[in-house]
Structure 1
Amino acid sequence: MSTSLPADPADLGALAARRLIARKQLSPVELAEACIARTEAVDHAVNALIARDFDGMLEGARSAEAAVMRGAPLGALHGLPLAVKDMVDVAGLPTTYGSEVFRDNIATGDDAMVVALRGAGALPMGKTNTPEWSAGANTRNTVNGVTANPYDLSRTCAGSSGGSAVALACGYTPLATGSDTGGSLRNPAAYCGVVGFRPSPGVVPGDTRGTALIPLPTPGPMARSVGDLGLMLSVMARPDRRDPYTVMVDGRTPWDPAGFATLPARDLSSLRVAATEDFGFAPVEGMIRSHFQMALAELEPQFGRLDHTTPDCTEADRIFAILRAVQFLGKHAQLVDTMPDKVGPNVTDNVAEGRRYSAEDVSWALHRQAEYHRAWQGFFDHHDILLSPAVTISPRPWREFYPTQIDGTPTQSYYHWLALAYATTIPGHPSITIPCGHDANGMPFGLQITGRRHGDAEVLAIAAELEAVIAGSSTLAPRRPDLALLRAAPALRDAPGFYTFD
C-alpha cells in the first residue's frame, strides 16, 4: 500500500481514513501504528487510555489490510481504531467501572455495542477512563487515577466520558464510545474540543441499562467531527429488542441507520432557532454567558429567525435528582451496604439521597417528567433547534472534586453544574455538542444543539452546517491541543492527588 499520506495518519478523521483505506492509499496497519505512537507519546501527560490492546489492534489491522488487498467487502468502519469507555465490556480487557470492587474484573466477552462496531470493521485499541460508575463529571477514580484536560493539564476534562474525549482530542483514535445521563459525553466533548452526541432514547440501544423503562442514560458516539460521528452512529443505531425504547417493526427500526453516515445539506437560513443561556434555571458562569452571546452574534445572520427563549423547565433540578437517585439506589445500594470502604463519595451520596425519597416523591417525578416532556413537544412545534452552552462553567482544576459554587452562588449537589445538559435529558431530546471557539480562559467552548425528539438526523445535519460555518470563523474556529507540550510534560501519575480525593 502507498505510504504517501496527506497528514500524520493519527490526525485523520474517520471518514477521511476510511476513504483512503478503501482506495488503498492508507494501510490499516499504518493507521494503527500511528495511533499507537501518538498514545505512547502523550498519554503519560493525560492518562486517558487506562487499558490497552495494541497487539490485538495490530492483528486486526493486518487482517483488515489483507481484506482490502483481496477486494473483500469492507464494513463502514473497516480498519478504524476505536476507544471504548470503561463502562462497556471488551473481551480480554478490564472493565473496572472505575470501582474498587471491580479493580480486577476482566471481561469474558464483548458488549453488544462492541460486537456491532467490530462487525463493521472497527479495531478496539483499549479502554478509556471514567469516574467511578460514571458518577460525576470530573474523570477521577482511585483505581485508574485522574484524566487531565489536554489544553491545560491542571484542569478537568469533565466526564464521565472524559477519557474518550481526551483520546479523541489527542489523536489516539478517530472514534470513541461514550454514554450520557446528565451530559456525560457532551460535557467532556465541550471541554476537549471534540464532538459528542446524546441520541433520542432507543436510537442507540442501551441493552444493559438497569432502569430500562427510565431512559436517562444512553450510549452515544464521540468523534472529532459531526460527519465522523454520523458514520459511527450508522453502526451503533441498530435494532435490539432488549432496549424497550428501540422501536422495531418487522425486525427494523423506523430510522434508517445508514442515513446517519450520509447527512443531507441543510439550509440554515430556513431555520427557526431558539437560544437560551440557562434554560431559565441553570447556574451559568458569567464568562460562559459572555462567550455564548458573542458566538450567537456571529452565527445569527445564518438563520432565518432567532428567538431568545426556552422551553418550560420548571422543577428540572428536582425531577432529575429524584430519577437519577432512583437509578443509583437500585444498582448500587448493595455495594454501599456490604463494601462501603470500596465505594466512593459520589455513589455513596446518591444511594443516601435515593433512600430519602418516598414512593410519593418518585411518583411525582415521573408524572412531572411527563408534563415536562409534553411542554417541550409544544415548544418544538414553533422552533427547529435550540442552542445553548453545553456546560455552565469553564474547566476548573481537576483537584476540585466538583464545583461547590458558580460565580459565588452555591451549587445544590455535585452534579448541579451539569444542569444545561440534563435540561435536555429529562424530555429525551437529541443533543449534540460541537466546538465553538475558546473562552476567556483559553479553554474550548462547546455549543449544544438540541432538536426534536427522534429528529436525530436533522440535528446532525444542522450541526454539520454550523460546524462548517464555525471552521471558517477567525474567532470561533477550534484549535487542537499542543502536542509538543504534552510530549514534554511530566507524568500525570506523579502529581499529588492522582489517585486520591484530598
Structure 2
Amino acid sequence: MKELLKLGALDLAEKIHRKDVKPSEVTDLFIDRVESINPALNALVVPRFDEARIEAKKADDVLMSTPKDELPPLLGVPFSIKEVFGLKGYPNTYGSLRSKDNLAEHTATVIARAMDAGAIPLGLTNIPEWGMWFETTNLVYGRTNNPYDLDRTSGGSSGGEAALLAANGTAFSIGSDIGGSIRMPAFFCGIFGHKPTNKVVPNTGHIPMTNDKMQDFAGNRYPYVTVGPMTKTSKDMFFLMSLLAGADGIDTEVKQAHYDFKPDLNWKNKKVFLCPNPTYRFVAETQPELQDEVRKTGQILKELGADVQDFDGSIFKDTFLHWSTTMSTVEGLEFTEKVGVTRLSTVIKELALATIDKHTVSFHTLMVCLGELLSKGGKVQDVFLKQAKEVENKLNETLGDNGILITPPHPRTAFKHNSATFRPFDFAPTALFNYLQFPSTAVPTGFDSQGLPTGVQISATQHNDVLTMSAAWSIEEALKGQIKHQDQDHRIERQL
C-alpha cells in the first residue's frame, strides 16, 4: 500500500478506477503519512481529516455504483489547498495576524473544479504572509521546512504545497505565482510546477479576489497572479491544466470557455535557447551545478531533433525593476492598503516592535510595503516600462511560437532558512516571466552535491504553454533512469 504514496494523480486515480484500492483506503493512507511527516515539515496547517474521511466513504459508494468510464477523473485522489485559496467555512487568514480570524465565504474556482473531479482535500497548507515572499513563514502558522533538509527553505509562496507533495503527503497540488511562487518551491522541493499564461486559469477565490468581489478586478485592475498545477509527473500537469483552465463566468478576464492541453513531443523544427548564467542586477551568479543542468537538458532536446542555440541573458539585468514597476501599474490594488500599513511611520513602528517580538506584520511584508510607499509613478517608471517592453519584443522575435528558453529557476538550490533576507532579489529569474505574462515550467532534473533537488525553468511566449510542458515531458522521459526515486525517498526519510 505504501507504494501508492509515490504515485501522481492520474496513476493513483487509475488504481482507484480499477478497484485495486478504495478511496477510503487511499485517504487513510495519506492521512497517516501527513500525520507522520507534518510535525517536521509544518506544511499542512489546517487539517480536515474527518471531513476527508466522510468524503472518501461517499467516493467508495460512487466507485461501486458507477461504470468505470463514467467515474470522476480524480475520484478519491488526495490533494491540499494553499491557504490563499478560499474553501468555504475554513480559515483564509493569508498568514496575517491582522486577519487571523477570517473564514472563507466561498470556495475558489480551481478548488471547486478539483473537488468536482472527485479529488479530496486533506487540509490547507502554509504560505508566507499575504503570499509575498519566497520563504514560507508567517506569524500565524510558523515556518515550513524542506523535506530534503529541514534547515532549508521549501520556497514560497506555495511552500506548504511543495513540501507536502514532495514528501508524498498528497498526490497533486495547486499553486499560485506572481513572482515565482509556483516555480521556486517546485524547484527547491524537486517537483514539477507550471505557471500558465495569464488569464487562462480563473483567479476567482484567490486573495484578494474573493468570489463576491471578482467584478472589481478587471482591465487595469487585474493582478498579475496566475494559478497553476504542482505535480509529481509531467502528464499530471497537462491533465490539471485542462481541468483548471477556462472561463468560470466570474473572472471576466478569462475569456476562452475550454482548453485541452496535449503534449507535442516532436522536437524537429523546434528552437531551444539556452541561458545557463543570465545577468540580473542585485542577484548573485548562478551556482555552477545549475548552469550544467541547463546545458544537460538542452542536450536532451538536441538529441530529439531540436535546434539548440545559446542566448545572451544580459538583457535581463534589470528584471527586478521591470517586474516591480509592472506590478505597480495595477490600479486599485495597493498592497499597503490590503495589509493596513499605509504610512512610513507604521513601517518604522512595526520594525521597532519586532525587536521585542511584539510586531503584527512579518519583516518581509514590511519590506514590500516600504518599497511600494517609496515608488509612486513618475518618469523613472516610464523608463522601466519601456525597457520591459523591449525585453518582451526581443523574446517574442527570438522564440516565436515554436521556441523555448531554458534558464535556471534560481541562482542556488534550496538555501538555509532566513538567508533570503540578505538576498531579497534572488527571485528575479522567475519574476521575469511574470511581468512578461509568459508560460513557464519548473522541471526537476536530479540532485546537487549536497543532495538537494536541481532543476531548470522552461519558458515560451504567451499561450505556448504546451511547448514548455512538452519539454518537461521529454526531459522527464530522458531522465527516468537517472533520478532514482529510491534515493529520493531515502533523502526525505533521513530528514523526517
Q: Give the alignment partner of residue 230 of structure 2, picking from 222, 231, 234.
A: 222
Q: Give the alignment partner of residue 65 of structure 2, picking from 56, 67, 70.
A: 70
- For 1:216 and 1:315, the matched residues in 2 are separated by 19
Q: Which residue of 2 aligns with 1:495?
A: none
Is contact 1:288–1:394 with CA below 8 Å preserved after alignment?
A: no
Instruction: Give, in angstroms, the shift of residue 422 of structure 1.
Output: 1.2
Identical counterparts, % of pairs:
26
Q: What TM-score do you get using the length of structure 2 for normalisation? A: 0.86
Instruction: Find the residue that maps to 1:220 and give its secondary structure.
Output: strand
Q: Which residue of 2 aligns with 1:387?
A: 406
Is contact 1:193–1:478 with CA below 8 Å preserved after alignment?
A: no
Q: Deviations over 1:109-160 (max 9, x none)?
A: 3122212221111111111111101111111111111111111111111111
Is contact 1:201–1:215 with CA below 8 Å preserved after alignment?
A: no
Amino acid at match of 2:47: R
Q: Deviations over 1:10-43 (max 9, x none)?
A: 2221111111111111211111111101001111
Q: Deviations over 1:154-178 (max 9, x none)?
A: 1111111010001101111111111
Q: Give the alignment partner of residue 336 of structure 1, picking from 304, 316, 341.
A: 341
Structure 1 residues 100 and 283 mapped into 2: Cα distance closer, same or farther (>3 Å)? same
Q: Which residue of 1 aligns with 2:287?
A: 286
Structure 1 residues 228 and 382 mapped into 2: Cα distance closer, same or farther (>3 Å)? closer
Is contact 1:274–1:310 with CA below 8 Å preserved after alignment?
A: no
Q: Which residue of 2 aligns with 1:271?
A: 270
Superposed, 1:255-266 pairs within 5 Å as 256=259, 259-260=260-261, 263-266=262-265
- For 2:421 and 2:297, the matched residues in 1 are separated by 26
Q: Which residue of 2 aligns with 1:28?
A: 23
Q: Give the alignment partner of residue 452 of structure 2, picking from 427, 430, 443.
A: 443
Is contact 1:268–1:465 with CA below 8 Å preserved after alignment?
A: no
Q: Does 1:304 align with 2:303?
A: no
The 10-residue stretch of structure 1 (53-62 or 473-482) with the greater mean CA deviation from structure 2: 473-482
Q: Which residue of 2 aligns with 1:494?
A: none
- For 1:474 and 1:68, the matched residues in 2 are separated by 34
- For 1:466 and 1:477, the matched residues in 2 are separated by 19
Is contact 2:293–2:445 with CA below 8 Å preserved after alignment?
A: no
Q: What are structure 1's unaligned runs of at least 5 residues?
A: 405-410, 488-502
The 10-residue stretch of structure 1 (51-60 or 229-238) with the greater mean CA deviation from structure 2: 229-238
Instruction: Give, in angstroms, the shift of residue 221 of structure 1.
Output: 0.9
Is contact 1:197–1:431 with CA below 8 Å preserved after alignment?
A: yes
Q: What TM-score do you get using the length of structure 1 for normalisation? A: 0.85
- For 2:251 and 2:411, the matched residues in 1 are separated by 31
- For 1:375 and 1:270, the matched residues in 2 are separated by 20
Amino acid at match of 1:424: F
Is contact 2:109–2:202 with CA below 8 Å preserved after alignment?
A: no
Amino acid at match of 1:47: N
Amino acid at match of 2:55: G
Instruction: Give, in angstroms, the shift of residue 296 of structure 1.
Output: 4.3
Q: Does 1:354 align with 2:372?
A: yes
Q: Deviations over 1:230-285 (max 9, x none)?
A: 2222221121344454223xxx24xx2xx33xx33512354321010243335333
Is contact 1:161–1:185 with CA below 8 Å preserved after alignment?
A: yes
Instruction: Find the residue that maps to 1:126 and give its secondary structure.
Output: strand
Amino acid at match of 2:285: V
Q: Which residue of 2 aligns with 1:322?
A: 325
Q: Which residue of 2 aligns with 1:55?
A: 50
Structure 1 residues 17 and 477 mapped into 2: Cα distance closer, same or farther (>3 Å)? closer
Q: Which residue of 1 aligns with 2:241?
A: 233
Superposed, 1:454-473 pairs within 5 Å as 454-473=463-482
Q: Which residue of 2 aligns with 1:199?
A: 196
- For 1:347 and 1:9, the matched residues in 2 are separated by 39
- For 1:382 and 1:236, the matched residues in 2 are separated by 23
Is contact 1:431–1:448 with CA below 8 Å preserved after alignment?
A: yes
Q: Which residue of 1 aligns with 2:396?
A: 377
Is contact 1:42–1:483 with CA below 8 Å preserved after alignment?
A: no
Instruction: Give, in angstroms, the shift of residue 183 of structure 1.
Output: 0.7
Structure 1 residues 475 and 175 mapped into 2: Cα distance closer, same or farther (>3 Å)? closer
- For 2:226 and 2:461, the matched residues in 1 are separated by 17
Structure 1 residues 20 and 289 mapped into 2: Cα distance closer, same or farther (>3 Å)? closer
Structure 1 residues 431 and 477 mapped into 2: Cα distance closer, same or farther (>3 Å)? farther
The 10-residue stretch of structure 1 (375-384 or 321-330) with the greater mean CA deviation from structure 2: 321-330
Is contact 2:148–2:189 with CA below 8 Å preserved after alignment?
A: yes
- For 1:314 and 1:284, the matched residues in 2 are separated by 12
Amino acid at match of 2:276: E
Amino acid at match of 2:293: F
Is contact 1:198–1:219 with CA below 8 Å preserved after alignment?
A: yes
- For 1:293 and 1:230, the matched residues in 2 are separated by 23
- For 1:241 and 1:10, the matched residues in 2 are separated by 36
Q: Which residue of 1 aligns with 2:95?
A: 98
Q: What are structure 2's unaligned runs of at least 5 residues?
A: 210-216, 351-358
- For 2:45 and 2:93, the matched residues in 1 are separated by 10
Is contact 2:202–2:254 with CA below 8 Å preserved after alignment?
A: yes
- For 1:390 and 1:276, the matched residues in 2 are separated by 11
Q: Which residue of 1 aligns with 2:417?
A: 398
The alignment yields a C-alpha RMSD, in angstroms, of 2.6
